Structure 1
Amino acid sequence: MSRFLPHVTVAAVVIDRDRFLLVEERDRMNTASSITVFNQPAGHLEADESLIDAVHRETLEESGWEIALEGYLGLYINTAPNDVVYHSHTFLARPIRQVSQTLDDGITGANWYSLAQVERLERTHRLRSPLVARRIRDALEERPYPLTLIRDLNHP
């Protein structure tokens, strides 16, 4: 019997007035294509790292932005086309300052997009996953949970 090992990830919905921070990256599911896709700053939780530390690190590495967390949007579970199950812990954030132009390998840029622009990317299948638009809609429609909802006994 094989073990079920979901991939634990973090993502930040970073809002500045009416714009959302998205990173543009090479499409990992279609490596032969030169098409890029858009995602929130996001990535895998590393060993011995808290969720909060991970979302700060990933946002900085992928976008060059330091952020302040406003709350926890929730746990989003999604099965990718390659059958990998992701457990994505998603946070609501606001930008503090851009500190770097050097971005992770595979990221071609980071920019601010209006909701209308995000919806256009969604219609043209340029979002990395259905989670991207869902997280933004949830951030606009729902109050985030307090960060104290996360009880990490390993990282007090």
Structure 2
Amino acid sequence: MDIRWKPAVTVATVIERDGAFLIVEEDTPDGVRLNQPAGHLEPGESLVDAAIRETLEETAHAFRPVGLLGIYMSRFAGRSGEPDRAYLRFAFVGEVGDPDLTRKLDTGIRRAFWISADELHARQAEHRSPLMQQCVDDYLAARNAGRPWISLDALYTHPNAIGPA
């Protein structure tokens, strides 16, 4: 039997301000976990639009992407009887202004807060995904080496992907 493999496409945002990273604390089936603002690509949106939407929904901050950090893949072991799931994560780098304090956070998001890289590293047992730390480490390595982010122009969304079928 031929099985079609379909990893879930997700986006995440890596946002640093004054040496701290914007992180969310969220309810998951495994308990309360830490994550970058992140979520699934939805029908009718580009990857960049998904990153902007997810960041706003989870943090109440308007996100301004400046580049692509990288593309990551991981596997999540399924719970009893469930199949394993593969995730393809597009991690974006950008900036935010002040949060919209009138905006309610997405269901399951307890709070958004700023945390240093060292504090985040010390709390790895609370990370929702191993990709979270990898993204922060890659961000710091690129920033410290003066490497530019991957240009957003490298991502192309054909109009038929976001328009009517």
Instruction: Provide TM-score, normalisation by structure 2.
Output: 0.85
1:61 corresponds in structure 2 to: 57
Deviations 1:28-61 (A, max 9, x none): 2x2xxxx411000000001010011100000000
Q: Return structure 1 stretches of 4+ with deviation > 6 angstroms.
A: none
How far did 1:2 drift?
2.6
Opposite residue 129 of structure 1, the aligned amino acid is S
Give the distance between the partners of 2:157 and 2:70, measured in 1 at CA.
15
Is it true that 1:128 corresponds to 2:128 in the alignment?
yes
How far did 1:17 drift?
1.9
Percent identical: 36
| Partners of 1:9 and 1:88 within 8 A in 2 | yes
Give the distance between the partners of 1:13 and 1:135, measured in 2 at CA.
7
Opposite residue 38 of structure 2, the aligned amino acid is A
1:151 corresponds in structure 2 to: 156
Give the distance between the partners of 2:46 and 2:127, measured in 1 at CA.
27
Give the distance between the partners of 2:77 and 2:60, measured in 1 at CA.
29
1:98 corresponds in structure 2 to: 99
Alignment of 1:99-114 (within 5 A): 99-100=100-101, 101-114=103-116
Deviations 1:94-153 (A, max 9, x none): 11221144111111111000011101111xx10011101110111111231111111222
Structure 1 regions of 5+ residues with no counterpart?
none
Opposite residue 45 of structure 1, the aligned amino acid is L
Give the distance between the partners of 1:140 and 1:68, measured in 2 at CA.
19
1:22 corresponds in structure 2 to: 23
2:81 corresponds in structure 1 to: none
Aligned residues: 148
Opposite residue 137 of structure 2, the aligned amino acid is R
2:89 corresponds in structure 1 to: 88
Opposite residue 130 of structure 2, the aligned amino acid is P
| Partners of 1:42 and 1:55 within 8 A in 2 | yes
Structure 2 regions of 5+ residues with no counterpart?
79-83
Opposite residue 108 of structure 1, the aligned amino acid is R
Give the distance between the partners of 2:134 and 2:35, measured in 1 at CA.
11
